[in-house]
Amino acid sequence: DSTKSVVNNGEDSFRSVQDLVRDAKPSEKEGLLDVKVFYPESFDRILLDPPCSALGLRPKLQVDVKSVKELEKHASYQQLLVKQAIALLKPGGILTYSTCTFHSKENEGMVAHLLQCYGDLMELIPLDTRYGGPGLPGLLTREQCEAVRYFDPSNTSQDTMGFFLAKFRKKNRN
């Protein structure tokens, strides 16, 4: 369960990420390593691509979401993963957040949540790319919308599926 991936205080003496991965046993699922936990502030960079509603995939022949309430459960789960990622990120480290959906609560809403709840720890930094467009208005300021990238599947000039990117830096302690 990735929502509980940070070692609790008082557990074991510190071991590096490399040691934790090296000592992990293969899981029964797809031969992946079964790494249970990591130590706080042990990663320089994290790419968080959490489970999402996948509304940006095309062709989307089947929509698994049966209600708005069910759709919004994705954002709640993503909030738990964001919390873990922030705990695992070193000061000065970079968190890149991405989804394959165009659902604003999972995209711009998650950026707003992260800045509101963790603004003392994290800062939104602009993505340096000409691809995609700004985030959707409504949940973020104009400057914040310009800092993120939204890829619209209906934009025929880009010929892309729908997805979203945002980049954050964990602030150094003063």
Active site residues: 100
123 and 167 Cβ atoms separated by less than 8 Å? no
What are the backbone dihedrals phi and psi of residue 83, each rounded to the nearest 5 degrees, phi first? -60, -45
What are the backbone dihedrals phi and psi of residue 152, each rounded to the nearest 5 degrees, phi first? -95, 120
Per-residue DSSP letter, 59: S
Q: Which residues contact 122 (CB under 8 A, 6 or more apart)?
A: 86, 95, 114, 115, 168, 169, 170, 171
Q: How many residues does the chain have?
A: 174
39 and 14 Cβ atoms separated by less than 8 Å? yes
Q: How far apart are CA 164 and CA 99, in angstroms?
A: 5
